[in-house]
Structure 1
Amino acid sequence: MRQLAIVRYGTAGEAFRLLEAKDPTPRDFQVLVEVEGFGLNYADVMARKGLYREAPNIPFVPGYEVVGKVVDKGSEVPDAIVGKRVVAFTRFGGYADRALVDYRALVPIPEAMPAGEACALATQYCTAYFMSNYLTRLQAGDLALIHACAGGVGTALTQLCRMQGVRVIGLCGRDEKLAYLEEMGVEWPINYRAVNYVKAVEREFGKRKLDLIFNSVAGKSIKRDLKLLAPGGRLFCYGGSDRSGQKKNLLSDLAFLLKTGFLSPLFMMMKSQGLIGVNMLRVADQRIDTIGACLQALVSLWEKEAIRPQIGASFPVADIAAAHRLLESGTSRGKVYVYW
């Protein structure tokens, strides 16, 4: 099989190498998927730079989701799965034309489902669904602030929030993305590089605070978000993209922690606020069935046309460096998909 491995930390042009390897053999609960393509996630950029602690040591094959056909299975997997076209969550290893997957984290999909849209469901939409439907209950009329709202998870959160009557404030870093947010139904799109988003929200809503904040940035934005959070509000932290432009060393790690701040649960209790960290790899390690349940619900919503992932760009495997550069640039919208 062919694999795109990260063989050194660095830029998109120098980090990857296409390698040949033997096809892996599925273990008891695993299947082997012949891969059509895979999706990119910002964690891949962090891993490529050596800034993602969950990543294996180099060399390793990144990738959290694949679409393809099941061609082999382990002893505990139902026979009926073989031959099915599926979307599947992977714990690394997705940048390959053969991938091992726990069958409890895959869902059969229609032949008509575009592979890029299916890939978006596996990680980005699962992350959004887990936060908005497992960890909390959305209420019609709630106010939600979504960071990186034009990205994959931001797009998913916007659709899931609007589906349940939640009003959305969406942050992006470029004026050209504002129109995209408006098309997605974001009522208050804000370019946070052009204006102070905290002051903009306070001007718009006065004393009305926010019920939900979805933060993929961390750093100083956590302290800013807490100023906007209502009693009973929940702040979800599911990424640290503010760290991505810095070098990998202890001083940078400490500076990032200090910028993010240290919070006491007692103060959170006094304000009746919740701060929830989300790491889908940890969830998958402990409750793989939860990943499968989220993915099944999302495929059902896609079939009902209740959600529709947006594909920002598609690249052949040979252009993996260009795909990574696009995602890292902050100019992409929706999902970035790579195909064999």
Structure 2
Amino acid sequence: MQQIKIKQYGNAQEAFAFEEQEKPVPIDSQLLIQVEGFGLNYADVMARNGLYKDAPKIPFVPGYEVVGKVIQCGKGTPPDFIGERVVAFTRFGGYAEQAVGDFRAARIIGDRISGGEACALATQYCTAYYMTDYISNLHEGETALIHACAGGVGTALSQLCRRKGVTVIGLCGSEEKVAFLEAMGVDFIINYKKNNYKKLIENRLGKRKIDYIFNTVAGNSFKEDMKLLNYGGKIYCFGGAARSGKKDHILNDLAFLLKTGFVSPLFMMMKSHGVIGVNMLRIADNHTAVIGKCLGELHQLWLQGEIKPVVGATFQASQIGEAHQLLESGKSMGKIYVYW
């Protein structure tokens, strides 16, 4: 079988290598999947640039989720998975024609849903659902601010918030994305490259009126967000896009930390604030069944028509460099899907 490895850090057109490899052997609780396709995530870009600390050392096969048919089960895996089409969380290794994943972080999906939509459920929607439904209980009439609202997690958050009656403020970086978010029904859209989003929000809503903030950027935006957060509000931090684009160096890491700033639990207590870090890789490692639970509930929401993942671009596996370039450019919208 073929797999795609990151052989060196840096440019997307030079970083990858296609290799022939023996098929993996599923161990306890694992499924072996004949892969139709896999999804891209921004963590893949960070890993390719040597900035993702949880990634294995190069060379390694990236990829968090796959869709395909189960061809073999490891010990302790329910046999009814055999022959079924599934979407599965893979914890690296997804850029391959065959991949393994824990059955507890997989769901049988049938043939109705497209590969791109299914892969969006596995990582982007699971990340969003974990924040909006699993560890939180959002209420009608509240307000949420979503960074990178036109991206994969952003579109998922928007749909999941709006289905609960939460007003959505979406940040994006181009007029094309403004139009995209308008079509999605986002309530208040701000092109942060043209406007100071904090001032616009305060002018429209007043000070400290945001109940939930979903921040995938960190850096200076975190400090601005804390000034917008309502009493009793929560900010979810699940990415560090502001760190991207700079070389892996301790000084760049320190500068990023200083820009993001630090919070004191005493000041948080005074405003009844919550700052919640979300790392789905850690959840998958230590609470594997949580991924499966979120996946199962998201699939039901898809079947009921309550959510509709947006697949913004589809590439052949041979175009992996182009797919990565699009995601890294910040111009993509929705999920990027790659198929064999």
SS in 2 for 1:168: strand
> What residue number does 2:2 align with?
2
* Cα deviations by residue, 1:257-304 (Å, 9 ceiling, x for unpaired): 000001111111111100000000000111000000000000011111
2:142–2:166: 8 Å Cα contact kept in structure 1? yes
State how far apart, in whole Å, the 2-side matches of 1:38 and 1:207 are: 42
> What residue number does 2:124 align with?
124
> What residue number does 1:248 align with?
248
State how far apart, in whole Å, the 1-side matches of 2:5 and 2:207 are: 51
SS in 1 for 2:37: strand
Give TM-score, length-normalised by structure 1: 0.99
2:150–2:333: 8 Å Cα contact kept in structure 1? yes
SS in 1 for 2:332: coil
SS in 2 for 1:149: coil
Amino acid at match of 1:31: L
Identical residues among aligned pairs (%): 61
> What residue number does 2:154 align with?
154
Amino acid at match of 2:251: L
Residue correspondence of structure 1 range 102-141 to structure 2 within 5 A: 102-141=102-141
Residue correspondence of structure 1 range 27-46 to structure 2 within 5 A: 27-46=27-46
Amino acid at match of 2:98: R
* Cα deviations by residue, 1:113-168 (Å, 9 ceiling, x for unpaired): 10000000000000000000112111001100000000000000000000000000
> What residue number does 1:200 align with?
200
The two structures, once aligned, show a CA RMSD in angstroms of 0.6
Counterpart check, 1:312 vs 2:319:
no
Amino acid at match of 1:295: L
SS in 2 for 1:36: strand
> What residue number does 2:144 align with?
144
> What residue number does 1:64 align with?
64
Residue correspondence of structure 1 range 250-269 to structure 2 within 5 A: 250-269=250-269
State how far apart, in whole Å, the 2-side matches of 1:110 and 1:151 are: 26
SS in 1 for 2:169: strand
> What residue number does 1:190 align with?
190
State how far apart, in whole Å, the 1-side matches of 2:246 and 2:269 are: 34
* Cα deviations by residue, 1:232-271 (Å, 9 ceiling, x for unpaired): 1000000000000111100000000000001111111111
> What residue number does 1:297 align with?
297
Counterpart check, 1:227 vs 2:227:
yes
State how far apart, in whole Å, the 2-side matches of 1:312 and 1:210 are: 29
State how far apart, in whole Å, the 2-side matches of 1:270 and 1:121 are: 37
> What residue number does 2:17 align with?
17
Gap regions ≥5 residues in structure 1: none
State how far apart, in whole Å, the 1-side matches of 2:172 and 2:207 are: 24
SS in 2 for 1:204: helix
Amino acid at match of 2:47: A
SS in 1 for 2:131: helix
State how far apart, in whole Å, the 1-side matches of 2:148 and 2:34 are: 32
Amino acid at match of 2:256: F
> What residue number does 1:74 align with?
74
* Of 198-207 and 115-124, the range deviating more from structure 2: 198-207
Amino acid at match of 1:149: C
| Number of residue pairs aligned between Structure 1 and Structure 2 | 340
State how far apart, in whole Å, the 1-side matches of 2:36 and 2:322 are: 19
Amino acid at match of 1:38: F
Amino acid at match of 2:200: A
> What residue number does 2:172 align with?
172
SS in 2 for 1:198: helix
State how far apart, in whole Å, the 2-side matches of 1:309 and 1:320 are: 21
Counterpart check, 1:321 vs 2:324:
no
SS in 1 for 2:161: helix
2:156–2:309: 8 Å Cα contact kept in structure 1? yes
SS in 2 for 1:55: coil
* Cα deviations by residue, 1:64-95 (Å, 9 ceiling, x for unpaired): 00000000011101111100000001100000
State how far apart, in whole Å, the 2-side matches of 1:111 and 1:233 are: 40
Shift of 1:208: 5.3
Counterpart check, 1:84 vs 2:84:
yes
Counterpart check, 1:273 vs 2:273:
yes
* Of 201-210 and 226-235, the range deviating more from structure 2: 201-210
Shift of 1:197: 0.2
